[in-house]
Structure 1
Amino acid sequence: MKDHDKYHKWVEWSDEDQVYVGKCPDLITGIHGEDPVVLYGELCAVVQDVIRHFGAEGKPLPSPRVRPMREVA
């Protein structure tokens, strides 16, 4: 598994801001945009950039802690 696959990423609509917001709380606060598909691609690229930056600085990556919610049966 690649490092960027360990981190939960998602895009959701913000009624307050009237834009889509892409999130990966273990690594970044978030980004926003008008198209959810395009935004998800941009979010993945930002996460990969952050991971590369940690590596270039010789810093360990934070442990992935945010996970998708599961339905309880």
Structure 2
Amino acid sequence: MKNYDHYTYKVTWSSEDQEYVGLCTEFPSLSYLDENKVAALEGIEHLVKDVVADMEANGEPIPEPIAEKNYSGKFQVRVPPELHRRLAIQAAEENISLNRYVSLKLAC
């Protein structure tokens, strides 16, 4: 069984439901409501565990936990030529590469 503990979980308040909602990034269609924050987290973890077990039993592909994925550190972003020019100018004014400038901007 995939380690369901390695998935990305969060708990947030739902104004609509007036309860906490537990969520799992790798399973966006799942949620678990509870009036208790800790119970909402435990609930979504148990739900994901059950869903993963069911998927395994049926031979379905199981999402890989984001925490276990390897990332190259590279991705392409298409921007309008005017923005590309403006970013290049700002990078030159900072005396750093465009790549470094954009990376710093994304980190903010």
Fold shared by both chains (TM-score > 0.5)? yes
| TM-score normalised according to structure 1 size | 0.73
Q: % of aligned pairs identical?
A: 34
**Who is 1:18 aligned against?**
18
**CA separation in 2, counterparts of 1:8 and 1:25?**
5
Which one has the bigger helix percentage? 2
Greater Cα radius of gyration, structure 1 or 2: 2
| TM-score normalised according to structure 2 size | 0.53
Moved over 6 A (4+): none
SS in 1 for 2:30: strand
Q: Which has the higher relative contact order, 1 or 2, with Cα contacts under 8 A spaced 6 or more apart?
A: 1
Instruction: List runs of 5+ in structure 2 lacking aligned partners.
Output: 68-106
Say how many residue pairs are matched: 67
**CA separation in 2, counterparts of 1:56 and 1:25?**
22
**Who is 1:54 aligned against?**
55
**Who is 1:63 aligned against?**
64
Check the 8 A contact 2:12/2:20 in 1, yes or no. yes
Check the 8 A contact 2:5/2:45 in 1, yes or no. no
